[in-house]
A and B are shown apart, each in its own frame.
Chain A
């Protein structure tokens, strides 16, 4: 894996946000970038690339990548459903939504559909408790979920994927 010229420029821009000699601060942003470039997960190769860019030992990168839950250390589906299951969402039926998605996609929590399209994860409070039940999908939140809304979202993902193929 390699960063494009454009991404390398972005890397430089990020490093400049910090004082001289403090480029380790760029580690989290760079891991986000690498994950985006690598299809939504961080392979050892991707982490080593970041280590090289910041002149860090690979272990310094691994220990950070394993601490934060947004870094996926295994491949994920094209669409990652991260459903919040904490108290306030539970009060509004997040358990039902999780069960519905499991049944609909025929996968368990933490699993990916056999066509590699969808991965289901449960996550803790995402700061959308008033708009529950909800999930994160890529960069955005899907809020006020109902089974019908989940159906629509899944259909739309399938349609978008088919168009892009």
Chain B
């Protein structure tokens, strides 16, 4: 059994309520933090090696130390609870079942950063979770952990929940800030970075829900102790939301020491593939990261076991590796069609493009159309090269990383499953009749570089 730091109390009856949470050691991190200097808390987070859990994996302590502190200007902490990357549903679990963990993390972090007004920007569809969070915030206020002059320290803080309204792009931090200011979610050109000019042009830190929840165990056990868990630069624990063709979809907290194979097949985690089917492919870190065929998923190109760590998942770069991303783990069994799956992702990115940059606005729609044609038996061989061409021209040519996020899944699907695309072109009638592809991918093959 791996060590649990976030979900260790998740099973306790009534843990959603303040009293139960408090009785089980809740808010100890706030009491500890308020006896420390804010700079020392930042130092503790640096020591922990915690990396942002929203997808990019940027070291949190470093991000915090970049926050500008001009005299007389407000600073803001904003919690990114937009969670809209297909395959990702971990933040929802934290907020829905242990809301006080996030609130506690937010209070500690607000104190460390000097944020008197802290916002949780939550995706609009999680409407019922807004009620749960507001209830937790009210309870924390009543207990004196929020409000004016908290625990007699002179520090004031209030947390507000802001509901989005259906836009994946508002998960991108600068689009989120625009949206929080009551505008369309168009990402801003960086620099300036939010740490200098963020919400209302004030210095701002934007962090993911899981990142901010992890601040609680870091304070409780100490940064050094936290850094001892895991391997290398993948410290601490990570929530993985597992879905697709597995026996036990759900949320798992892993300490980053297990292999991908163990994660998929062991009963402690996904419990294997249903109906005795074989594993065909997997997108290990949310829809934006490259899909890998079974052979490259389980072993790196060097023949080493692939581990559930930031480094190992990325081993081989985009040629033969993928990314930890947001921890959205999507499994495809042998009956699934990679072309169809990629088509749905292309549709997703077309739908979610904010439309500011032409490569992203036009390219995502174009890719969707071509993929649709191929999937429905109307594609040409030259379409596959055209798709490759389009994705390569989106990547790196846009204001925000959504363009890259739209390009990578298409690139990886062609890179690893080109013959499945070709099969669709060569067998148009078959492609229309059965929406699944080539089962021969399903067996872990010898690893070789394409």
Interface residues, chain A, CB within 8 Å of chain B? 17-19, 22, 24-29, 31-32, 54, 63-64, 67-71, 85-88, 90-92, 123-132, 136, 139-140
Interface residue stretch chosen among B12-20, B60-68, B215-223, B240-248: B240-248
The 3 closest A-B pairs by CB, nearest first: A68-B165, A130-B249, A70-B166
The answer to whether B185 touches A67, judged by C-beta atoms less than 8 angstroms apart, is yes
Q: Is the CB of B83 within 8 A of A130?
A: no
Whether the pair A125, B341 counts as a contact (CB closer than 8 A) is: no
- Contact: B243 with A130, CB < 8 Å? yes
Query: How far is it, in angstroms, between the C-alpha of A124 and the C-alpha of B347 when the chains are bound?
Result: 9
- Which A residues are in CB contact (< 8 Å) with B341? 87, 90-91
- A125 to chain B: which residues have CB within 8 Å? 84-87, 168, 287, 348
Q: What are 11 A-B residue pairs whose CB atoms fall within 8 Å in the complex? A: A29-B163, A92-B245, A125-B84, A125-B86, A127-B84, A128-B92, A129-B244, A129-B330, A130-B243, A132-B249, A140-B128
Bound form: Cα–Cα A64–B185 in Å? 9
In whole angstroms, how far apart are the Cα atoms of A152 and B192 in the complex? 53
In the bound assembly, the distance between CA atoms of A88 and B329 in angstroms comes to 10
Interface centre among B86, B332, B336, B351 (most CB of A within 10 A): B86
Asked if B243 contacts A27 (CB within 8 A), the reply is no
Compute the total of residue contacts between A and B using a CB distance below 8 Å. 142
Asked if B184 CB lies within 8 Å of chain A CBs, one says yes
Asked if B208 is at the interface (CB within 8 A of a chain A CB), the reply is: no
B75 to A: closest C-beta gap in Å: 12
The distance in angstroms between the C-alpha atoms of A125 and B341, with both chains bound, is: 13
The B204-250 residues at the A interface (CB cut-off 8 A) are: 241-245, 249-250
> Is B200's CB under 8 angstroms from A22's CB?
yes
Query: Considering the chains assembled together, what is the distance between the CA atoms of A131 and B185 in angstroms?
Result: 28
* B381 interface residue (CB < 8 Å to A): no
The distance in angstroms between the C-alpha atoms of A28 and B241, with both chains bound, is 29
Which residue in B165, B241, B251, B332 is a CB contact (below 8 Å) of A32? B165
- Which of the segments B119-127, B258-266, B417-425 contacts the partner chain? B119-127
Q: Tell me the bound Cα distance from A140 to B96 in angstroms.
A: 13
Besides A90-B341, A125-B85, 19 new A-B residue pairs in contact (Cβ under 8 A), listed by A number:
A22-B200, A24-B182, A24-B183, A64-B183, A67-B184, A69-B351, A85-B347, A86-B347, A87-B86, A87-B87, A87-B344, A88-B243, A88-B244, A91-B243, A91-B245, A91-B330, A129-B87, A132-B249, A139-B128
Against A, the Cβ 8 Å flags (1 = close, 0 = not) of B107-130 are: 000000000010000011111100
The answer on a CB contact under 8 Å between B179 and A19 is no
Asked if residues B126 and A70 are in contact (CB atoms below 8 Å), the reply is no
Are B344 and A86 neighbours in the complex by a CB distance under 8 Å?
yes
Q: Which of A69, A87, A90, A128 has the most C-beta atoms of chain B within 10 angstroms of its own C-beta?
A: A87
Which residue of chain B has the shortest Cβ distance to A30 in the bound complex? B182
Any chain A CB within 8 A of the CB of B6? Answer: no
